[in-house]
Amino acid sequence: MSKTEISLAKRRLLLRDSLTFLILTAITVVLFFVTLFLFRSFTSHRAVLAVRWSGRGRDALKAGRPQEAIIALRTGLSYAPGTRSYELLLAQALEAAGRTEEASNYFMGLWTTQPGDGFINLELARLSARKNDPTNAIKYYRASIYGTWEGDGVVRRREVRLELARYLIAQHDLNAARIELLIAAGNSPSSPELSSTLADLLTQAGDLSDAFTNYNRVLKQDSKNQEALQGAGRAAYRLGNFAVAHSLLERALEAKASPSRGKNLPGELETMLENSKRILELRPSGKLRPSERVSRILADSAIAKKRFDGCMLKFDPAEGLPPELLQLQARWASEDSMSRRTLLRSLARQDAAVQLVFDTELQTGQFCGAPSGDDALLLLLAKSPEVMER
């Protein structure tokens, strides 16, 4: 080939290659738009399907048909994988359907991506509690309390803390429950409902003092709140504040007397009211006039002496008495000279007589079984903080 021919051939080749690449580019552009059209149309269709199916799932879950919800939500998720709200709904549906293991697995899967999510931790805590796994339940409850929450996190955290306290009470871990309740009480605004709930739970956790405080908070805002009056009265009675208990229970009874409510308190509270009334009659309070106080001391001494004598009869003199009773016996013997006049003359003798009454009830309660009637009430009085009251 001559040089001219070679040059021409080269040009032809260059032209051919350029044309080839031009055609390839054109094909690529056309193919791109076709693919884009297909992709966009299907993507939007998927989005529609995802919304439709998740809506069906949500409705079914609300209507209490968790099985149906599971199918619908799974379908929704297949069209919008990873959508958080659908995943949470599905997990809830699994839980509602009683598929605890699956729900646990599902929530665990969600947890691995968001270990700090309050809701997921709460659900895991509930599932662990259901599976009787207190270690994990408590772990997840705590993680939920310190986790992140959408919306009103303060309220949700408090609710979770209360739920944890309920769980701890059910697990008989009363001290831990009390701590959670006190933290919740410390972080809570003054709300009668919340104070009432806290007081109820504190009562269950055995913290009567704080329960009483919370009932009082309720009563400050709603002095006729029946539950608070009863709860506070019960707490005061158990704390040995019989005067307060009596007053509160009286108010509860008055509040009950309104036409819309029944007239009677629950049996337990009726007894408490009666007992507190009688205790107040028996109590040799230092605030009483001296003659009145001495009269009560003498009456209480008679009750206690009778109880002591009855208790002594249960022991065989040949076998001898326990040292505590022997000591009591000696004290009663020395108090034989106890008379109205001598007591009125000395406040110290009054106090000694009261102490002897209380010691008698405490010791006889120990050696001769539980007392009844006024003895039982004197024993309550002996155990109450009011015993120190002059």
Partner 1 sequence: MEEKHIMEREPVTHEASAASLTDVAAIAPAREERIFLLLSIFIGIISGLLVVSFRMAIDWLQVLLLGSAPAPHQRRLFIVPAVAGLIVAVLTRYVFPKVRGSGVNQTKAALYINNGYISFRTVIGKFVLSALAIGSGHSLGPEDPSLQIGAGVASLISRRTGMSRERLRLFAPIGAAAGLAAAFNAPISAILFVIEEVIGQWNAAVLGSIVLGAVSSVVVARGFWGSEPMFRIPTVTFDSRELLAYTVLGVFGGIASLMFAKALEYLRPLLRKQPAWAQMLQPGLAGLLVGGIGYFGLPQVMGAGYGAIDQAMHAQFAWKMLLLLALFKIIATTLSFSSGTPGGMFAPTLFIGAMLGASIGTFEKLYFPQLHLTGSLGSYALVGMGVLFAAFLRAPLTSVFMVLEVSGNYSIIVPVILANTIAYVISRSFQPMPVFEMLTHQDGLYLPSMEEQREESELHIEDAMHAVVAPVLQGREKIADAMQSLAQYSDLKGDSVVLVHCGDGLWYAATYEELQGIFAKTDEADPAVSLETRLGKERTPVLFPDLPLASTLPHFKRWPLLPITNRAMWGALEGAVSMSDVLKRYQGR
Q: How many DSSP H helices and E strands does the chain contain? A: 18, 0
Site size with partner 1, rule: CB under 8 A: 43
**Does residue number 135 form part of the binding site for partner 1 (CB under 8 A)?**
no
Q: Does 28 bind partner 1 (CB under 8 A)?
A: yes
| Residue closer to partner 1 (CB basis): 78 or 223 | 78
- Indicate which single residue of 80, 102, 321, 344 sits in contact with partner 1 (rule: CB under 8 A): 102
Instruction: Work out whether 47 is an interface residue with partner 1 (CB under 8 A).
Output: no
209 binds partner 1 (CB under 8 A): no
Q: How far is 150 from 291, CA to CA, in rounded Å? A: 68
C-alpha 116/C-alpha 136 separation (Å) is: 15
| Least distance to partner 1, CB of residue 234, Å | 44
Residue 96 Cβ, how far from partner 1 at the closest point, in Å? 15
User: Does 45 sit near partner 1 (CB under 8 A)?
Assistant: yes
Measured CA to CA, the distance from residue 313 to residue 309 in angstroms comes to: 6
Do 360 and 328 meet the contact criterion of CB atoms below 8 Å apart? yes
Q: Measured from the CB atom, is 75 or 285 closer to partner 1?
A: 75
> Does residue 96 belong to the site contacting partner 1 (CB under 8 A)?
no
Q: Are 360 and 304 in contact (CB under 8 A)?
A: yes
Distance in angstroms (rounded) separating the CA atoms of residues 262 and 248: 17
State how far the Cα of 389 lies from the Cα of 72, in Å rounded to an integer. Answer: 69
By CB under 8 A, residue 24 contacts partner 1: yes
362: tokens are 């405490």
Nearest CB to partner 1, comparing residues 112 and 337? 112
Minimum CB distance to partner 1, residue 87 (Å): 8
Going by C-alpha positions, the residue among 162, 166, 207, 170 that lies closest to residue 188 is 162
- Subset of residues 54 to 83 that bind partner 1, contact rule: CB under 8 A: 71-72, 74-75, 78-79, 81-82
**Do residues 140 and 152 lie in contact, with contact meaning Cβ atoms separated by under 8 Å?**
no
- Please report how close the Cβ of residue 120 comes to partner 1 at its closest, in angstroms: 13
Angle at 176 between CA 173 and CA 182, to 5 degrees: 135
Residues making contact with partner 1 (CB under 8 A)? 6, 9-10, 13, 16-17, 20-21, 24, 27-28, 31-32, 34-36, 38-39, 42, 45-46, 49, 52-53, 71-72, 74-75, 78-79, 81-82, 90, 99, 101-102, 105-106, 108-110, 112-113
